[in-house]
Amino acid sequence: MPPPSTSAPDVSRKARQANFRFRCIACGDLSDCASQDFRCARCGDLLEIIYPYWKEAGLEAQNLKSTWRQRRLSQSAVDLSGVWRFRDLLPAIASDDQAITLREGNTPLYELPHCARITGVPRLFAKHQGLNPTGSFKDAGMTVAATFARLAGFRWVACASTGNTSASMAAYAARGNMRSLVLVPEGKISWSKLSQALDYGAVTCQLRTDFDGCLKLLQELVLRAPVYQLNSINPFRLEGQKTLALELLEQLDWQPPDHIIVPGGNLGNSSAIGKALPEMHALGLISSLPKLSVIQAEGANALVRTLREAGGKHLVGVHAETRATAIRIGNPASWKKAAHVLQATGGACEQVTEIEIAQAKAEIGAEGIGCEPASAVTLAGLKKLVQQGFVKREESVVLVLTGNLLKDPDFTMEFHRGDLFKGGGDEGASAALKPLRHPPIVLDATLDAVIRTLEQAEKEQAEE
Ligand code: F0G
């Protein structure tokens, strides 16, 4: 790959003619360009995208709602996308065919009656982002950021990932005729996610480090080579992920829930949803702000510690360890944005144990929905927030399920076989999860054996 040169593509070439500007989240510096690491030229902090021309454009809530509803009847690719359907609130593209789309978004909002009984919160819903084209919420951001990568003339896109970002990036790069470079921690991501990146044609590097090490290297790489970085530091990603909130509120007929609960890893998603809510409020699309709460795994609890130990003033990084590998992140890049969101919406930040995650995942599975371990922290966290009185039983709650059950089959198999906690400190405590386990049963191929198994299952259920 050639060294960086003045002819390297410019990440923000198109931005200069566009409907948005970049703003630094720390010093407020405004610019029409961003450098390849998407950091403020003055102070080095993260950038966000703002839309100074919305006022002049005369965006009107009722018109927006009816435009978005009408687009659902259209068969054009951008209208079939649950992201680009809301393009009035996204960075503008000159023509619809510039969008690289896999018809992302359009994810269902499910009621969770079983989990509602468990938590004692009757109005409990799940927004299942795991039903996106590559099986995770990343697609909503990737369609926008990949589109802008191609518009800026890049041939190569790259990311550091715990698996889902890489799967999504590789798919959108392939659709957009770009090459993709994936940096993942060796041995610490699920094979399902890795296999997606391989199939979509990414150059996939398993680095002997953790996610944080991969991200650090990527940040240096993009300053040395003409490679467009697609981690959630890239503010175009967050603009796409913002549409989760728009679609959710549309599904709720624009009646805000009291609480939205998301898992926290690199903290891009919480930042994105937390950006959307005040924007929607300012435009008159919603009349109040839901509280946005972030839940982390106890072994990867940098935001929890940052808020509790440093009052949100500086990042308290951790050495991350959790079986919910998607959120195995010790130095979340967007911690400042997420801390601001919690403050602005009045949300909470909690942590949950490995046992609590495994239990919650099985309980969501028992709804016939299923999700990957990182998504299940939301239900586990909700239980804590109810206990603490932060979530009241009469309030409505939406859990954001970020990834598909099939993303991490090893976790699910080990759980049901009873191997997940074997030999570890949690082995004793995990015995309590036995009623939730449904291990496969190997039998002789006889009718008798199957009937006996049915009878046994009936008996066990009656005893529960
Ligand atoms: N849930 C899943 C399934 C994820 O894959 C991730 C992050 C998160 C939650 C946390 O979201 O980082 O926005 O706070 N996965 C990234 C990746 C880091 O590389 O796939 P976040």
The pLDDT tens digits of the residues spanning 299-317 come to 999 999 999 999 999 999 9
User: CB of 204 closer than 6 A to ligand 1?
Assistant: no
Considering only the C-alpha atoms of the chain, give the largest distance between any 2 of them, rounded to a whole number of Å: 76
Residue 199 pLDDT exceeds 50? yes
What is the best residue among 159, 164, 303 to mutate for testing ligand 1's pocket, by most ligand atoms within 8 Å of CB?
164
- The CA-based angle 35-37-43, given to 5 degrees, is 75
Which atom, in ligand 1's list, is nearest to the CA of 268? 13
Which atom, in ligand 1's list, is nearest to the CA of 130? 3
DSSP code at position 153: T
Cα 142 to Cα 165: distance, rounded to the nearest angstrom: 8
Q: What share of the chain is helix, strand, coil (3-state, %, to 5)?
A: 45, 15, 40
Cα 47 to Cα 38: distance, rounded to the nearest angstrom: 6
pLDDT number for residue 462: 87
User: CB of 163 closer than 6 A to ligand 1?
Assistant: yes
Going by C-alpha positions, the residue among 213, 229, 220, 236 that lies closest to residue 158 is 229
What is the best residue among 172, 183, 269 to mutate for testing ligand 1's pocket, by most ligand atoms within 8 Å of CB?
269
Closest CA to ligand 1's atom 19: 161
Instruction: Answer for the pair 69, 247: CB distance below 8 angstroms, yes or no.
Output: no
Residue 2 pLDDT exceeds 70? no
What are the pLDDT digits (tens) for 45-73? 999 999 999 988 889 999 999 999 999 99
Instruction: Answer for the pair 316, 309: CB distance below 8 angstroms, yes or no.
Output: yes
Q: What is the token pair recorded at 219?
A: 């940040």
pLDDT number for residue 350: 98
Tell me the pLDDT band of 464, cut-offs 50, 70 and 90.
confident
The alpha-carbon radius of gyration of the chain (Å, integer) is 22
pLDDT number for residue 7: 36
pLDDT number for residue 463: 82
Closest CA to ligand 1's atom 5: 326
For the chain, percent of residues with pLDDT exceeding 70 = 96
Which atom, in ligand 1's list, is nearest to the CA of 266? 12
- Count of CB atoms situated within 10 Å of the CB of 30: 11
Cα 158 to Cα 229: distance, rounded to the nearest angstrom: 5
pLDDT number for residue 360: 98
Tokens 């409020």 -> residue: 281
Cα 4 to Cα 227: distance, rounded to the nearest angstrom: 9
Q: What is the token pair recorded at 371?
A: 């999700």
pLDDT number for residue 439: 96
Q: Look up the pTM and report it.
A: 0.96
Q: What is the token pair recorded at 197?
A: 């990146």
How far is ligand 1, taken at its centre, from the CA of residue 207, in Å? 18
Residue 185 pLDDT exceeds 60? yes
Helix ranges (DSSP H) in 324-371:
335-345, 354-365
Which atom, in ligand 1's list, is nearest to the CA of 159? 19
Q: Which amino acid is at 333?
A: A
What are the pLDDT digits (tens) for 210-231? 999 999 999 999 999 999 999 9
User: CB of 183 closer than 6 A to ligand 1?
Assistant: no
